[in-house]
Amino acid sequence: MSKIRVLPDRVANQIAAGEVIERPAAVVKELVENALDAGATRIEVEFNHGGRSYMRIEDNGSGMSRDDALLALERHATSKIAEADDLNRLATFGFRGEALPSIASVSHFTLQTREASTDAGVEIVINGGRMVHVRDCGRPVGTRIEVSHLFNSVPARRKFLKTDTTEAAHIIHGVRLYALAFPQVAFSLIEDGRAIFRSPQCTTFEERIAGIFGKQTAEGLLTLEADEPGMKLRGLVGRPGVGRSTRHEMICFVNQRPVDSRTLNYALIESFHESLPKGRYPVAFVFFDIDPAAVDVNVHPAKREVRFRSEASVRSFVIRAILGRLREFGQAAAPVAVGNGNAGAATIGDTGRIANQPLAPQVAPSVTSSVITAIPERRVKDNAPYLQPQAPIQPPSPTAATVAPTQPAPPRSPTRAWRFLGLAHGAYALFETPAGLVLLDRRAAHERIWFERLQAQFREGQVPSQRLLLPVPVELDSIATALLLDRLEFFNGHGFEIVEFGRNFFRIESVPAWMEPTDAEPFVRDLLGALREGRLQEKNVDVARDELARLAVAKAIRLPEAAGEAELQGVLTQLFACRAPLTSPLGRPTQIELSHGELARRFQK
């Protein structure tokens, strides 16, 4: 007897089931995908005991004929592709033709289906891979699959299932993903006879999110829409400062398929780098559409991972799109339309044109036109006296490429849209705004202002440096010495003047003008620490500068204890002239808004 045998189908299916069907959630996933592929507009998922004892997926899709249904239970039988080339044009979820037979081989499996063209449906019952019966049955058009006693025939797999709650969580998460991806399909999810959610057919994605994740989450989101040849990004992302402690609400779809893509995840986290504190993850529901040929979904049997042909371009596109949107939002959130300053130089003596000029500061050219037209006519007139007498003033730095920073801007009209109410604990300023109340964190606001100020100084290479009366001595170990010697030019180019003064010994002779002399030594040590950790890469000067600025703001800010209205209004004006006014450079929010709705809710009105 030969030692090598071809395994019977049943065994082969059980083995395949090990790959595709690792837990109840995988069954739900495969079957919901099938339902969607069948063009269903209503899908109902029910499960008991974390799916281990019973799962039911019912749809109103196209259904199957008797022959098709039988064939579907064969391995590698699929309606979705016909030849290998089709893999490159995949527009459906399934294609491997493994799911149904795999599931059927490890459970008690009941399939009922009817095509629109036939009068009677067909019912197939399979137990542990063995056919029990095939017979006619009555049912509406569509398919209903019941899976019970999952892994009864594979005790090893059954043992490795987690608790019911964990398995249930996986199922719920999975169904949510598909529900998000297909707002036009009605979804119901029932656990142990209790509805987790019922979401009718939704016209918009926002409605669907509110239906599934709750209104509160939905209110903290921004719509996103970006296009580039071959790539498209849309969806909703959290506002700056809105974050979660886990990645669970960072959900990506590629060509409508929920995936776990490192590229996209990193791009998301990177985009929120400035808008969220370290260790917080953004809330994001994004749909990334790309030519199916440029993406490989056949990496993992469960199709959870995808690979892009060109990871770098995908990544940079996503970052650009999201960052752009976040900044745009930051600008639009300003209490009055900001930036009527910079338009001045270009339109001297022609105030009438101002309203039609792009008024935003140069760094954020994408302020929507609605913001611009929102500037009251009177405000424009207010500016007129400032504009007219403006003599041509020599730009201080003729080398600067952009016009805006070098042209002196006329002073802004004071912000009157937000009324200052008071300062709490010396730390939080309370403002009354048209939308409700805003609490401003003074420190975070100053951090943002200083951060961008320092960034600008670094960029323009104009870092004022204050020489010290008494040079500050710094003694370092030999590793730090080597590092410092290596980066001496970087340090000295950013406001310091550090000279070597013997073996492992340095003297700080100048510090950046904003720095207290006492802070110089600890700051240099902190910087060296950051260098050692590789946070200040010399390769990328911009990144290094940002990091430097981030470290520096903590030292630069000295808040006076009391602050009056004028000062805080000034802070507000400066803050909203920033690129990203809503978060501190470490990603903490600078302000909390209590909307009228929120207030009414809290007071139970």
Partner 1 sequence: MKFKINRDHFSNGLAQVLNVVGSKATMPILSNVLIEADKDFILLTTTNLDLGIRCKIKADVKESGAVTLPVKRLASIVRDLPNVDVSLDASPNHQVKIASGGSNFRIMGIGKEEFPPLPEFAEEKSFNLEQAELTSMLKSVSYAQSTDETRYILNGVYFSFKEGKLTLVATDGRRLALTNKEIEVPATSAGSIILPAKTVAELVRMLDKGEKVKISFSERRAAFQINTDKDSSGLVDSIYLYSKVVEGNYPNYNQVIPKETHQRIKLERELFLQCVHRAALVCSEKSNSVKVKLSSNLLEITAQSPDFGDAHESMAIAYSGPELQVAFNPQFIMDPLRALAKDEVFFEVKDEVSPGVFKTLESFICVIMPVRLS
Nearer to partner 1 by Cβ, of 279 and 398: the residue is 398
Give yes or no for residue 9 binding partner 1 (CB under 8 A): no
Amino acid at 166: T
Give yes or no for residue 401 binding partner 1 (CB under 8 A): no
Q: Is 196 strand, coil or helix? A: strand
Choose the binding region for partner 1 from 79-87, 143-151, 406-414, 416-424 (rule: CB under 8 A): 406-414
For 333, 334, 419, 559, the CA distances from 422, given in Å and listed in that order, are 21, 19, 9, 16
Show the DSSP H helices in 244-376 as ranges: 262-271, 311-332, 369-373
Nearer to partner 1 by Cβ, of 182 and 491: the residue is 491
Candidates 147, 236, 283, 409: give the one binding partner 1 (CB under 8 A).
Answer: 409
Candidates 403, 513, 566, 599: give the one binding partner 1 (CB under 8 A).
Answer: 513
| Residue 512 beta carbon to partner 1: minimum distance, rounded to whole angstroms | 9
CB contact set of 253 (below 8 Å; sequence gap of 6+): 177, 180, 181, 235, 259, 286, 287, 288
Candidates 362, 462, 537, 540: give the one binding partner 1 (CB under 8 A).
Answer: 462
Q: Is the dihedral of CA 449, 221, 588, 602 positive or negative?
A: positive
What burial letters (b/e) apply to 589-599, b meaning 16+ CB within 10 Å?
bbbebbeeebe
Instruction: Find residue 225's DSSP bridge partners.
Output: 234
| Residue 469 beta carbon to partner 1: minimum distance, rounded to whole angstroms | 5
Q: Is 331 strand, coil or helix? A: helix
Give yes or no for residue 399 binding partner 1 (CB under 8 A): no
Nearer to partner 1 by Cβ, of 259 and 498: the residue is 498
Give yes or no for residue 457 binding partner 1 (CB under 8 A): yes
Nearer to partner 1 by Cβ, of 141 and 463: the residue is 463
Choose the binding region for partner 1 from 110-118, 226-234, 263-271, 407-415 (rule: CB under 8 A): 407-415
Choose the binding region for partner 1 from 123-131, 210-218, 332-340, 450-458 (rule: CB under 8 A): 450-458
Give yes or no for residue 406 binding partner 1 (CB under 8 A): yes
Q: Is 585 strand, coil or helix? A: coil
Candidates 220, 324, 517, 529: give the one binding partner 1 (CB under 8 A).
Answer: 517
Instruction: Name residues contacting partner 1, limited to 518-557 (CB under 8 A).
Output: 518-519
Task: Show the binding pattern over residues 468-497: x = contacts partner 1 (CB under 8 A), - = does not.
Answer: xxx---------------------xxxxxx
User: In angstroms, rounded to a whole number, what is the distance separating the alpha carbons of residues 392 and 394?
Assistant: 6
CB contact set of 578 (below 8 Å; sequence gap of 6+): 330, 448, 449, 452
For 15, 16, 120, 151, the CA distances from 7, given in Å and listed in that order, are 10, 12, 36, 20
User: In angstroms, rounded to a whole number, what is the distance separating the alpha carbons of residues 459 and 463?
Assistant: 9
- Residues 512 and 464 sit within 8 Å (Cβ to Cβ): yes
| Residue 532 beta carbon to partner 1: minimum distance, rounded to whole angstroms | 24
Q: Is 370 strand, coil or helix? A: helix
Tokens, residue 133: 């019966």
Nearer to partner 1 by Cβ, of 230 and 408: the residue is 408
Which of 57, 66, 64 shows the shortest CA–CA distance to 80? 64
Nearer to partner 1 by Cβ, of 352 and 411: the residue is 411
| Residue 430 beta carbon to partner 1: minimum distance, rounded to whole angstroms | 23
What burial letters (b/e) apply to 535-549, b meaning 16+ CB within 10 Å?
ebeeeeeeebbbbbb
- How many residues bind partner 1 (CB under 8 A)? The answer is 35
Give yes or no for residue 309 binding partner 1 (CB under 8 A): no
Give yes or no for residue 346 binding partner 1 (CB under 8 A): no
| Residue 590 beta carbon to partner 1: minimum distance, rounded to whole angstroms | 18
Nearer to partner 1 by Cβ, of 170 and 448: the residue is 448
The continuous run of DSSP H or E covering 288 comes out as strand 284-290
User: In angstroms, rounded to a whole number, what is the distance separating the alpha carbons of residues 218 and 168?
Assistant: 24
Choose the binding region for partner 1 from 88-96, 218-226, 287-295, 388-396 (rule: CB under 8 A): 388-396
Candidates 132, 393, 403, 479: give the one binding partner 1 (CB under 8 A).
Answer: 393
| Residue 284 beta carbon to partner 1: minimum distance, rounded to whole angstroms | 35
Nearer to partner 1 by Cβ, of 101 and 339: the residue is 339
Which residues are at the interface with partner 1 (CB under 8 A)? 341, 393-394, 396-397, 405-406, 408-409, 411, 453, 456-457, 461-470, 492-497, 510, 513, 516-519
